[in-house]
């Protein structure tokens, strides 16, 4: 029987701890506060914004919205970020990206104070992840995958993990987090030879390639644990993962679903970083 790695119980579990930490901060007269900077009106950003606001309300986290026109200049955007870097009432800064083409994310992301960089887009935070420095803020999706595996008691120490996809947002930082857990990681990409052989030899396969239903049953065996990070349009207006969930379900040990899987945990992790920043547990070294 295949176990479904449902993200929602993981969210409930994480929220319990977060609520306790928020209550402790309230005793100190502090309310964790997130600033959301949205440039333009991309539907993806609006949808993520709605999800963040809903979760803020559930948890009791303050939110401040800074919607900017798609035509905003780089100087004005940086000025806004710098203003909130200095504002003690704001603990975490979330900047939606991709940005319009006239804005240079590589420059802008470095202006977010690493202490407030809750989405871990400042290279200073990524650097800490690669150093194995637990005080840094790790990117939310990789951390969501780790939380999911831990919640379902999937052993990581000594496990062989095939990480399929090597982007800077998911595959590379997640490989580092898995290494920190003492897993043995094989990092795969579009030029990897014999991918099916590698995935078949792995205990855990994490997939983040952005290709709908690309991995079929021949990539797995009945002992494989699959975490599917992919979010794709299946061409019929439905969301699908990078793994062919319907074909694979029933033939592997465990698999996360395309909806209600890793994605739902990501927002919770983002808000846990706001709490972490408010607690002052993220010193720059």
Rule CB under 6 A: which residues touch ligand NAP?
Answer: 141, 164-167, 169-171, 188-192, 195, 208-211, 214, 229-232, 262-263, 266
- Residue of closest CB approach to ligand NAP: 167
Peptide bond into 243 cis (omega under 30): no
Residue 160 CB, nearest approach to ligand NAP (Å): 17
Residue 271 CB, nearest approach to ligand NAP (Å): 14
- The angle that helices 43-59 and 262-279 make with each other, rounded to 10 degrees, is 60
Q: CA distances (Å), 152 to each of 2, 14, 59, 212, in order?
A: 13, 13, 23, 25
Residue 192 CB, nearest approach to ligand NAP (Å): 6
Q: How far is residue 116's CA from residue 95's CA, in Å, rounded to a whole number?
A: 11
Residue 137 CB, nearest approach to ligand NAP (Å): 16
DSSP state of 243: B
Closest CB to ligand NAP among 92 and 171? 171
- The helix or strand, by DSSP H or E, that contains position 3, with its residue range, turns out to be strand 3-4
Closest CB to ligand NAP among 182 and 238? 238
Closest CB to ligand NAP among 149 and 229? 229
Terminal C-alpha separation, the chain:
48
Residue entry with tokens 């919607």: 67
Closest CB to ligand NAP among 32 and 261? 261
């Amino acid at each position: 029987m295949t176990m479904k790695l449902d993200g929602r119980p993981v969210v409930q579990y994480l929220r319990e701890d977060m609520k306790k930490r928020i209550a402790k901060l309230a005793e100190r007269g502090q309310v964790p506060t997130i600033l959301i900077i949205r440039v333009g009106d991309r539907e993806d950003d609006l949808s993520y914004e709605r999800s963040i606001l809903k979760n803020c309300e559930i948890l009791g986290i303050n939110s401040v919205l800074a919607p900017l026109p798609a035509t905003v200049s780089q100087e004005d955007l940086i000025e806004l970020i710098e203003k909130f870097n200095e504002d003690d009432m704001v603990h975490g800064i979330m900047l939606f990206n991709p940005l319009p083409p006239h804005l240079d994310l590589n420059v802008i992301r470095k202006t977010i104070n690493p202490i407030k960089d809750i989405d871990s887009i400042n290279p200073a935070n990524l650097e800490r992840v690669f150093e194995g420095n637990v005080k840094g803020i790790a990117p939310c999706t990789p951390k969501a995958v780790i939380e999911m595996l831990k919640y379902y008691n999937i052993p990581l120490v000594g496990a062989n993990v095939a990480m399929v996809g090597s982007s800077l947002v998911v595959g590379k930082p997640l490989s580092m987090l898995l290494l920190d857990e003492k897993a043995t990681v094989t990092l795969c990409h579009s030029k990897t030879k014999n991918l099916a052989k590698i995935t078949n030899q792995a205990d855990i396969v994490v997939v983040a390639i952005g290709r709908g239903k690309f991995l079929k049953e021949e990539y797995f065996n009945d002992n494989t644990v699959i975490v599917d990070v992919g979010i794709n349009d299946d061409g019929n207006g439905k969301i699908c993962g990078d793994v062919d969930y319907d074909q694979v379900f029933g033939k592997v040990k465990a698999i996360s679903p395309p909806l209600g899987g890793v994605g739902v945990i990501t927002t919770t992790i983002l808000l846990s970083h706001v709490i972490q920043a408010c607690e002052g547990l993220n010193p720059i070294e």
